[in-house]
Structure 1
Amino acid sequence: MRILQIAPVIGPGTGVGAVAHHLEQEWCAAGHQVGRFTMDDARGSWLPEPGPGMRGKLALMARVVWFSTVGSLLARRELRRHPDVVALCHNDVLAGDVYVNHGILQAAMRSRGSYGLRMLRNPMHLFVAARDTLRYRSAIHQAVVNLVDEEDSALRATYPRLRPRTVTIGNGVDVGRYRPPTTSERTAARRRLGLTDDDVALLFVGHEFERKGLPAVMHALALLPARFRLIVVGGTPDMVQDAGRAADRLGLSDRVILLGQVPDPREAFHASDVFTFPSAYESYGLVVLEALACGVPVVATPVGCVPEVLHDGIDGYMTSADPGALARAVRDLAGLDRSALATAARAVAEEHSWHEVSQSYLRLFESLHHPGSTGPTTSINPAPLRTKGETA
């Protein structure tokens, strides 16, 4: 089968781009030809990378608008050259046989309150809402993949005139890369972060501190004994500074370890005892599976994949974002057998390997109708696809 994935960036550790990366690896290993359409192919490599402050927000807006408009035109032209290819779109572009719903903007804004104000004060929100209204009400895509059933329901509620058919296929986790640490790995990781044997290390990973609940985690930490400490991974430099000031106000400056963005979060997982994730909204929440794969029990709100993977008292707890509730759940987990929790967490993660996910996508692709070819896997003198490592 010939598959083309569409995303601004494709690679490990890049959020949505990591999903495309893992699918690419699985499909290539199975003998399929997998190509890429990224920002480079959309001739947007000249655009600045997003960063902190207003300049960073403007850079992000420019990239989203460019990939949604110019990227859509060029992707459609590319697909006309490859009528036999099955195209899977992950971000922005209005093209492709299948679109993966990695999040509904309106649902995310409503989950945080002040919906109208949040939409109106950010022009990019209005642009994305208009773009996706066109996406879901038209025949651009044959199918939409939702990551959990709850997201399928949210999509239909947000877009009552939804035209493509929908299916649910969850994300996977790289259970080879994300694994429980050895005793020496855990000891070394904790030593590098300044943790003692008696410390109970909470972990938060995310680039949107407010939506994903970092303020609630900090307030919960203030309710816990001094031996409970918090590791925070992610965030822009200005967000990290704000979080540091918040920790100071709560009297937690010596109990909160702010790492910022790191190229590899595994050491933080290996050093931790509990992963905290009181997010207001998630289309899936892959980081939850990554924590479980590392043997770290999770305390999280029931969003995204959480209701499907967490079992109270076995591999974590589902709770509200109320700091008191979070503190109670963390304290309860700290009193349970850590080895049993780690074993149960790992077992759940192993049920969500990328191999199984990639096979579900292939079954979906086989069901698609491809005019102009005798089937999604057949081609006569096909034009070459750009694959990993090739320039646009």
Structure 2
Amino acid sequence: MTRIVQIAPTIEPGSGVGGVAYALEREFLAAGVQVERFTAADAGRPPAGARRSALGTHLARAGNVLWFTTVGSRRARRFLAERPGAISICHNDVMAGDVYVNHGLLQAAMRARGNYAWRMVRNPVHLFTALRDRIRYRGRTHRAIVALTSREAALLVEVYGRVRAPIHVIPNGVDVDRFRPGEPSERAVLRDELGIAEDATVAIFIGHEYERKGLSIAIEALPLAPGVVLLVVGGTRDMVRKARADVDRAGLGERVVFAGEQSDPVPFLHASDVLVLPSAYEANALVVLEALACGLPVVSTPVGFAPDLVVDGETGFIVDRSAASVGARLAELAAQPLDAWRERSRRAAEQHSWREVGRRYLELVHALEAENSSEAARAARKAGRDGSAGDAQ
């Protein structure tokens, strides 16, 4: 029976790395595969404490990366050694596992944001991560690498020059049952709670990294798109406070609503009309797929999965990373009925269910299992020949 161990800091419903591992786990179980987890908690990492300041949150995240890479890697290897027949899939930090899923390239993200050298040097964890991943991709840590898009596969080679393990492109999927178009009542209830008029065109921005994902560009685009309200989901309290101050200084306070960190983005997608993502870099941009599944056209820069999913004039627009470009497309969408856009967006997302993605991962797992069987057979034959030679002597 096929056995899979998934390694990730957390494995739980939601977006991000933990949500991807959780969705794959569900598909593996549905296919009759035995699945185990190895998370930071399983490795012995204490749970996070109470709410912290922005600096405290940053330091805690840095500590988690360092701990899971070092202590977590050692403990993961011991865990896997006790399960010699399992195929392991690693999603972040840990230097172990048959398959490594590349959820993003730090160096590519820093270069996309500008001032690359300064951004790397000012944060020692960035230097640590860059060195760790150079060892990961150019060494023998993993037997296969999964890139989420063809562009990301090319970036791996551009950044590291040579990637020893074979690269397989398998995009993330979407839960088309959970991420679905909202009912009018669902839309109305949350809009009322947020103080957003029913006739407003709501552009939703989702993300915790305001700078990289281009929140300032989305805000600067608003004067070019009358009637559009920007709904911002994500960000720490300090990030929200600073962004709200910038919005107020620009005189746009009535057109930007900050919802803060939310465990479930679905109700906010249901309350919205379009996703705006003027990001500098995304490994996959799963939020694009989730928005399309909820029937929202997407205005995005050409990052991650967006160029493969968004068809100009049908399911949204691929734009330059400028307020003028973003604003023009938001204004265009706000000026017309969106029913047909919603239908086309939903149909596009339905082609990328997690079931199909899980099937492709299982194909890779079975290929690695076949390699294991071949290697075991060769080792048995060699042992037999060595034994026969010894007997002859």
TM-score normalised by L of structure 2: 0.92
What residue is the counterpart of 1:322 in the other structure?
322
What residue is the counterpart of 2:141 in the other structure?
140
Change (3 A) 1:351 1:51: farther
Mapped to 2, the partners of 1:191 and 1:374 lie a distance apart of: 62
Are 2:90 and 1:89 aligned? yes
Mapped to 1, the partners of 2:338 and 2:98 lie a distance apart of: 45
How many residues end up aligned between the 2 structures? 375
Q: Amino acid of the residue matched to residue 224 of structure 1?
A: A
User: Which range moves more in the overlay, 332-341 or 96-105?
Assistant: 332-341
1:261-296 alpha-carbon deviations (Å, 9 max, x no partner): 012111211111111001000000000111111101
The answer on whether the counterparts of 1:50 and 1:59 sit within 8 Å (CA) in structure 2 is no
**1:109, distance to aligned residue in structure 2 (A):** 0.2
What residue is the counterpart of 2:391 in the other structure?
none
Mapped to 2, the partners of 1:96 and 1:292 lie a distance apart of: 32
Mapped to 2, the partners of 1:223 and 1:346 lie a distance apart of: 27
Mapped to 2, the partners of 1:370 and 1:39 lie a distance apart of: 30
Mapped to 1, the partners of 2:112 and 2:259 lie a distance apart of: 27
1:23-52 alpha-carbon deviations (Å, 9 max, x no partner): 001111111111000011221125658844
Residues 192-211 of structure 1 mapped to structure 2, 5 A cutoff: 192-211=193-212
Change (3 A) 1:177 1:2: same
Mapped to 2, the partners of 1:58 and 1:335 lie a distance apart of: 45
The answer on whether the counterparts of 1:233 and 1:259 sit within 8 Å (CA) in structure 2 is yes
Mapped to 2, the partners of 1:191 and 1:375 lie a distance apart of: 62
Mapped to 1, the partners of 2:294 and 2:283 lie a distance apart of: 22
What residue is the counterpart of 1:239 in the other structure?
239
1:125-145 alpha-carbon deviations (Å, 9 max, x no partner): 001001111101111100000
1:340-362 alpha-carbon deviations (Å, 9 max, x no partner): 00000000110110000000000
> SS at the partner of 2:42?
coil
The answer on whether the counterparts of 1:84 and 1:373 sit within 8 Å (CA) in structure 2 is no
Change (3 A) 1:245 1:155: same
Q: Amino acid of the residue matched to residue 180 of structure 1?
A: P
What residue is the counterpart of 2:381 in the other structure?
none
Identity of aligned residues (%): 49
User: Which range moves more in the overlay, 73-82 or 190-199?
Assistant: 190-199
Are 2:40 and 1:35 aligned? no
The answer on whether the counterparts of 1:50 and 1:57 sit within 8 Å (CA) in structure 2 is no
Residues 259-274 of structure 1 mapped to structure 2, 5 A cutoff: 259-274=259-274
The answer on whether the counterparts of 2:224 and 2:328 sit within 8 Å (CA) in structure 1 is no
Mapped to 1, the partners of 2:327 and 2:277 lie a distance apart of: 12
CA RMSD between the two structures: 1.7
1:63-116 alpha-carbon deviations (Å, 9 max, x no partner): 111100111111111111111000000000000000000000000000000000
Change (3 A) 1:244 1:375: farther
What residue is the counterpart of 1:8 in the other structure?
9
The answer on whether the counterparts of 1:300 and 1:317 sit within 8 Å (CA) in structure 2 is yes
What residue is the counterpart of 1:53 in the other structure?
54
> SS at the partner of 1:259?
strand
What residue is the counterpart of 1:103 in the other structure?
104
**1:4, distance to aligned residue in structure 2 (A):** 0.2
**1:369, distance to aligned residue in structure 2 (A):** 5.3
The answer on whether the counterparts of 2:282 and 2:303 sit within 8 Å (CA) in structure 1 is yes
TM-score normalised by L of structure 1: 0.92
What residue is the counterpart of 1:218 in the other structure?
219
User: Which range moves more in the overlay, 123-132 or 41-50?
Assistant: 41-50
Q: Amino acid of the residue matched to residue 222 of structure 1?
A: P
Are 2:133 and 1:120 aligned? no
What residue is the counterpart of 1:313 in the other structure?
313
The answer on whether the counterparts of 1:50 and 1:60 sit within 8 Å (CA) in structure 2 is no
> SS at the partner of 2:117?
helix
Q: Amino acid of the residue matched to residue 202 of structure 2?
A: A
What residue is the counterpart of 1:340 in the other structure?
340
The answer on whether the counterparts of 2:228 and 2:331 sit within 8 Å (CA) in structure 1 is no
Mapped to 1, the partners of 2:295 and 2:170 lie a distance apart of: 24
The answer on whether the counterparts of 2:224 and 2:331 sit within 8 Å (CA) in structure 1 is no
Mapped to 2, the partners of 1:349 and 1:147 lie a distance apart of: 16
**1:224, distance to aligned residue in structure 2 (A):** 2.4
The answer for unaligned runs of 5 or more in structure 1 is 377-392
> SS at the partner of 1:82?
coil
Mapped to 2, the partners of 1:139 and 1:61 lie a distance apart of: 25
